[in-house]
Amino acid sequence: MKIVKVSAIPISAPVPEEKRHRTDLGTKVKSDATLIRVETDNGLTGTGAALGTPPIAAAIVEHELAAECVDEDPMFSERIYQKMYNGSRSRPALERGITQADESRRRGVVMEAIAGIDIAVWDVKAQALGIPLYQALGAVRSSVRGYASGGWAPGDEAEAELAGYAAKGFTAAKMRVVGRDGFSISNCARRVKAARRGLGPNVELMIDAHGSLEVATAIKLAKSLSPTTLPGSRSRSRPTITPVRRRCASAVRQIPSA
């Protein structure tokens, strides 16, 4: 089996005005993605997806990465990944078994495009093996616990929104630090209290800041959401630097920081 074609389809779907919501990162007005297809000579076609600006991701796939995949056997998925990731250094990397990643291949939209092709290759591989993709990847369990994700409703309206997730059977839910009523410690605390009422005491509650808070504010907010007043809740701040995470965790030990 050989790969005969790799193609990309840029997609941008507008979010209807009545369904737009405000998050920590801004108002969502559209959803962007790039669908990637890997076609083989025996008729199997795998599908993947990449984030990033769609026309850019599509151009990277079609003008740079596709040629590195054509004529390769999709059953050798790691070889294909290493060719893409190592770029111009792929030959010595494959010969020696040591990654020598090209500088341009390690980050940004290029990595998104590589990931999208990798997903599509694994999709083909799973089809060829006649098993679900999760088994082809090396499953360790037959089910995965899911959690509800939302929580933008302002003020006391968060109670009804989160109650809806509990009613659907979710045992955990995640809400945003910034709701449609904007951010303040008091606004967030009010929304979290309302969410806890809606979920009840037995559903786990996580609060996601999307990395939008500075350390002092994250710590102050976490302390205001203490599990002693909100049983079963967890505040989750997302600073990206490990020392910063440690500062948050040490300041508020009873609430995990991630």
For residues 141 and 118, give the distance between their C-alpha atoms in angstroms, rounded to a whole number: 22
| 46: helix, strand or coil | strand
Q: Does 126 share its domain with 41?
A: yes
Q: Does 34 share its domain with 92?
A: yes
> Looking at the predicted structure, is the pLDDT value of residue 175 above 60?
yes
Domain that holds residue 13: 3-136
Domain end residue (candidates: 136, 169, 190):
136
Q: Does 77 share its domain with 121?
A: yes
- pLDDT category at 232 given cuts 50, 70, 90 is very low
**Identity of the highest mean pLDDT range in 95-104, 168-177, 219-228, 238-247:** 168-177
Domain count, the chain: 2
Helix (H) or strand (E) holding 95: helix 90-96
Q: Does 123 share its domain with 165?
A: no
Residue 128 within a domain: yes
Can you read off the two tokens belonging to residue 39? 């076609």
User: How far, CA to CA in Å, does 227 sit from each of 160, 165, 192, 213, 220?
Assistant: 21, 21, 11, 20, 14
Contact 105, 84 (CB under 8 A): yes
More confident residue, 164 or 19: 164
Which are the contacts of 147, defined by CB distance < 8 A and separation ≥ 6?
Answer: 170, 171, 172, 173, 174, 204, 206
Predicted local confidence at residue 218, as pLDDT: 85
Residue 70 within a domain: yes
Residue 100 within a domain: yes
Q: How far apart are the first and last CA of the chain?
A: 43
Residue 167 within a domain: yes
Q: Encode pLDDT of 156-168 as tens digits.
A: 999 999 999 999 9
- pLDDT category at 225 given cuts 50, 70, 90 is confident
Q: Give the global pTM.
A: 0.74
- pLDDT category at 238 given cuts 50, 70, 90 is very low
> Looking at the predicted structure, is the pLDDT value of residue 229 above 80?
no
Length of the chain (residues) = 258
For the chain, give the percent of residues with pLDDT over 70. 88
Domain with 62 in it: what CATH number?
3.30.390.10
Domain with 173 in it: what CATH number?
3.20.20.120
Q: Does 108 share its domain with 165?
A: no
Q: Does 184 share its domain with 215?
A: yes
Predicted local confidence at residue 62, as pLDDT: 95
Residue 13 within a domain: yes
More confident residue, 74 or 251: 74
Q: Encode pLDDT of 78-133 as tens digits.
A: 999 999 998 888 888 888 888 877 777 778 899 999 999 999 999 999 999 999 99
Which are the contacts of 191, defined by CB distance < 8 A and separation ≥ 6?
Answer: 151, 153, 154, 155, 158, 175, 179, 181
Q: Does 197 share its domain with 234?
A: yes
Decide: residue 149, CB within 10 A, 0-12 exposed, 13-18 middle, 19+ buried.
middle
Q: Does 8 share its domain with 126?
A: yes
Domain end residue (candidates: 106, 136, 166):
136
Predicted local confidence at residue 130, as pLDDT: 97
For residues 184 and 27, give the distance between their C-alpha atoms in angstroms, rounded to a whole number: 17
> Looking at the predicted structure, is the pLDDT value of residue 32 above 80?
yes
For the chain, give the percent of residues with pLDDT over 90. 57
